[in-house]
């Protein structure tokens, strides 16, 4: 069948009957014994579980905007309900607490409290799913083996699964039913190999529905042909008979409205039920093959309406239930139509079909849940989480173990606590990037570059670092890349500056701190630049700054220069320090090699460092218009371009000379006969150095403006040679004026 759309409470619901109807039937078959079991675990009338199942399927199904989530009696609240009924004195008074709890949930939904679901870590959700999978396996094994245990229909997912484990093992060994084991094996085999058999063409019958029908047929055949395998009594589904429709409902006792305990349990049900719903909703969305997202606030409103109605008519608390939801998805459901069908079938079965439903062997249902449980907690999922590292795996494992030992809610809280611990630990180590901008211990400068967001969680790490700095240190706090800084952190900086820093001769500065960070502008912190640019006005000081920057590069003490577009203009508003001309053979970043900031250098490139009139005019503009104070002609060794030109001379002596070698050949620095493969590298390095001096002299000889400014000392001119093997840059002294003819001395 094609997909269709119908209107549901103002929404358009896309549904696929060929998948949704069979899925709804399967969920109904699984939900039926769960409703009865959870009611029994809660100490409530069995019919209350069925009422909650009907309301969860029909009412919550209509109100919810989740496509695959199925709601029903809440196993995670069964212990709370059991104690509440005892302490409140009657089931009717408890219904009043449930009704009020539902109203509180509606209010929580309207207040947008459902957003808390977005903050639940994925590893906790996967831990919840894995734990539910294990609980399914543990709880369904007795039914799959036909073992009669006390409260054998109690599928309570909030109890410790290890309670009475030894007794259960003994009972399992002595009380197995061959008929149940046979039905379970047949059912598991059919579902596992379904896609590899012709049965996969039965589109209207998903494997889970098929095995339920097959289980009924086989059990009736056992009765006729193999009586020893026939299952009856406690091994079959059992729902109570309803004499008339009115006998379904029990109403709350409104006379207890002023009882404080009623309100206490109302809030307890609302809070625990809401958290359980949000957890299950998130887990269900993760299982959805289409990865559709369910609005959590709408879900809280829907659950609140469902619980209000459940309290009014005699039900027990309702939440989104991962067991039903995972079965629903596994059966192939595409929309909430399957949820509605499951609710309607629960109502019809209670009123009219109890005799037929009671023929279903529990072993067939157990086989369905065993397979669902295995898929939720498969070895593949565990291995996948383990490969993500301990930070992800440990909260996952703790969540699984804690849920098994305690209950769903407490287990998730314990797992979340472990996850928060790793978060705090991560924040402790990553609130900033620290570097020493002076490699010597004397007058050491320490820069703390703050991360994007700095919260109160970072206080211990920052305080530990600042208060352990030695006397005489210069501290620079760089907040240039921070979008938010907690006021508590600013108070730490202020306290440090006026106490510890002052007492220990520590110079404390902060840069990049916007006015919006200061809470009500009460705290005022100095915003000095880490390098006072007023000190970099002369060519010699700029040269010293670049020399020191290269030393820091070699020592690994780099100043971080992370690119951030929105603040880029703040970095380039000052005049550049130098214009650097280097060879196109050199591709290493100048800012890193000399540890400068964004916009500090104007890079120009030319082959073999041989300048021409156009490039010299560009240098003039850089100095005249952009106010660069230093001209740096920078070569590199080895230089592949010059080496290749020299090698070509050796290979082809009669070939036209390279333009890269023309100036040095004209100046008779070398002759072609001088070059051989043995001295190729030596001559390449000599010519790199000669080209640097040649270009400096050419600047002085061809550009009157630059010549004049260099003579006056307003602009500096020097050369530098970058050694690729060591990373070191060899800077020359500043040159005021030189004659081009002196360059012959290089030979």
Annotated binding-site ranges for Zn(2+): 583, 585
Residue 317 to residue 608: CA distance in whole angstroms: 82
Are the C-beta atoms of residues 543 and 715 closer than 8 Å to each other?
A: no
How far apart CA 124 and CA 400 sit, in angstroms, is 9
Number of H helices, E strands in the chain: 28, 15
Instruction: Count Cβ atoms below 10 Å from residue 52 Cβ, excluding itself.
Output: 33
Nearest CA among 692, 715, 688, 694 for reference residue 704: 715
Q: Which of 604, 583, 545 shows the shortest CA–CA distance to 684? A: 583
Asked if the peptide bond before residue 639 counts as cis, ω within 30 degrees of 0, the response is no
**Buried/exposed code over 153-188 (b: 16+ C-beta within 10 A; e: otherwise):** bbbbbbbebeeeeeebeebeeeebbebbbbbbebbb
Nearest to 368 by CA among 193, 136, 152: 136
User: Torsion angle of alpha carbons 389, 395, 399, 402, nearest 10°?
Assistant: 110
Q: Report the alpha-carbon distance of residue 273 to residue 276 in Å, rounded.
A: 5
Contact 688, 635 (CB under 8 A): yes
Question: From CA 657, how far away is CA 532, in angstroms rounded?
Answer: 49
Nearest Cα neighbor of 252 from 96, 104, 98 is 96
Joined tokens for residue 79:
């212990």
Query: How many residues does this entry show for the chain?
Result: 747
- Provide the sign of the torsion angle of the four alpha carbons 436, 438, 442, 447, taken in this order: negative
Residue 663 makes CB contacts below 8 A (sequence gap 6+) with 610, 691, 694
Distance CA 647, CA 624 (A): 40
C-alpha dist (Å) from residue 667 to 262, 609, 649, 692, 745: 104, 16, 17, 14, 11
Residue ranges for the known binding site are 583, 585
How far, in Å, are 106, 137, 448, 528 from residue 525 at the CA level?
Answer: 47, 62, 15, 9
């Amino acid at each position: 069948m094609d997909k269709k759309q119908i209107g549901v409470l103002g929404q358009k619901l896309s549904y696929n009957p060929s998948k949704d109807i069979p899925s709804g039937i399967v969920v109904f078959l699984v939900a039926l014994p769960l409703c009865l079991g959870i009611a029994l675990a809660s100490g409530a009338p069995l019919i209350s579980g069925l009422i909650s199942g009907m309301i969860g399927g029909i009412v919550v199904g209509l109100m919810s905007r989740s496509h695959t989530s199925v709601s029903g009696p809440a196993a995670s609240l069964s212990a709370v309900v059991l104690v509440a009924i005892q302490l409140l004195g009657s089931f009717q008074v408890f219904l009043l607490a449930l009704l009020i709890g539902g109203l509180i949930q509606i209010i929580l939904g309207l207040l947008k409290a459902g957003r808390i679901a977005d903050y639940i870590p994925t590893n906790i959700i996967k831990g919840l799913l894995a734990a539910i999978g294990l609980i399914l396996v543990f709880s369904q094994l007795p039914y799959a083996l036909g073992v009669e245990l006390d409260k054998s229909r109690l599928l309570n997912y909030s109890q410790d699964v290890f309670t009475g484990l030894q007794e259960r093992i003994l009972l399992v060994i002595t009380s197995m039913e061959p008929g149940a084991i046979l039905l379970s094996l047949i059912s598991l085999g059919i579902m596992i190999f379904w896609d590899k058999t012709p049965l996969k063409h039965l589109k209207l019958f998903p494997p889970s529905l098929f095995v339920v029908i097959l289980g009924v047929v086989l059990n009736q055949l056992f009765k006729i042909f193999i009586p020893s395998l026939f299952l009856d009594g406690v091994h079959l589904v059992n729902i109570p008979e309803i004499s008339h429709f009115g006998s379904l409902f029990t109403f709350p006792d409104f006379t207890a409205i002023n009882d404080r305990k009623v309100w206490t349990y109302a809030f307890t049900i609302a809070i625990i039920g809401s958290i359980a719903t949000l957890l299950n909703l998130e887990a269900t969305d993760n299982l959805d093959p289409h990865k559709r997202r369910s609005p959590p606030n709408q879900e809280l409103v829907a659950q609140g309406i469902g619980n209000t109605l459940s309290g009014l008519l005699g039900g027990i608390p309702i939440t989104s239930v991962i067991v039903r939801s995972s079965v629903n998805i596994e059966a192939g459901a595409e929309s909430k139509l399957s949820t509605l069908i499951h609710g309607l079938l629960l109502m019809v079965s209670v009123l009219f079909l109890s005799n037929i439903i009671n023929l279903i062997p529990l072993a067939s249902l157990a086989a369905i849940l065993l397979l669902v449980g295995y898929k939720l907690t498969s070895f593949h999922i565990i291995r996948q989480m383990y490969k993500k590292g301990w930070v992800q795996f440990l909260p996952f494992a703790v969540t699984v173990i804690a849920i098994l030992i305690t209950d769903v809610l407490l287990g998730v809280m314990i797992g979340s606590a472990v996850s928060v611990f790793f978060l705090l630990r991560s924040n402790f180590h990553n609130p900033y990037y620290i570097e020493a901008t002076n490699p010597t211990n004397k007058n050491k400068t320490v820069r703390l570059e703050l991360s994007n967001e700095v919260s109160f969680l970072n206080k211990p790490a920052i305080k530990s670092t600042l208060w352990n700095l030695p006397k005489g240190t210069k501290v620079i706090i760089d907040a240039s890349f921070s979008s938010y800084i907690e006021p508590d952190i600013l108070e730490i900086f202020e306290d440090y500056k006026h106490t510890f820093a002052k007492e220990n001769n520590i110079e404390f500065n902060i840069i990049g701190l916007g006015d919006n960070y200061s809470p009500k502008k009460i705290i005022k912190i100095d915003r000095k630049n880490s390098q006072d640019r007023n000190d970099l006005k002369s060519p010699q000081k700029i040269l010293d700054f670049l020399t020191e920057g290269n030393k820091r590069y070699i020592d690994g003490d780099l100043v971080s220069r992370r690119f951030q577009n929105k603040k880029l203009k703040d970095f380039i508003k000052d005049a550049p320090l130098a214009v650097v001309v280097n060879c196109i053979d050199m591709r290493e970043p100048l800012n890193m090699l000399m540890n400068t900031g964004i916009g500090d250098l104007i890079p120009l490139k030319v082959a073999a460092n041989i300048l021409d009139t156009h490039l010299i005019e560009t240098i003039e503009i850089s100095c005249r218009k952009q106010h660069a104070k230093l001209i740096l002609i920078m070569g590199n060794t080895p230089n592949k371009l010059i080496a290749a030109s020299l090698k070509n001379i050796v290979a082809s002596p009669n070939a036209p000379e390279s333009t890269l070698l023309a100036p040095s050949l004209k100046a008779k620095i070398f002759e072609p006969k001088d070059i051989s493969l043995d001295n190729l590298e030596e001559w390449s390095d000599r010519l790199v150095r000669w080209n640097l001096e040649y270009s400096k002299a050419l600047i002085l000889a061809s550009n009157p403006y630059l010549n004049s400014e260099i003579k006056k000392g307003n602009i500096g001119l020097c050369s530098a040679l970058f050694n690729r093997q060591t990373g070191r840059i060899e800077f020359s002294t500043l040159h005021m004026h030189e004659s081009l003819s002196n360059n012959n001395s290089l030979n």
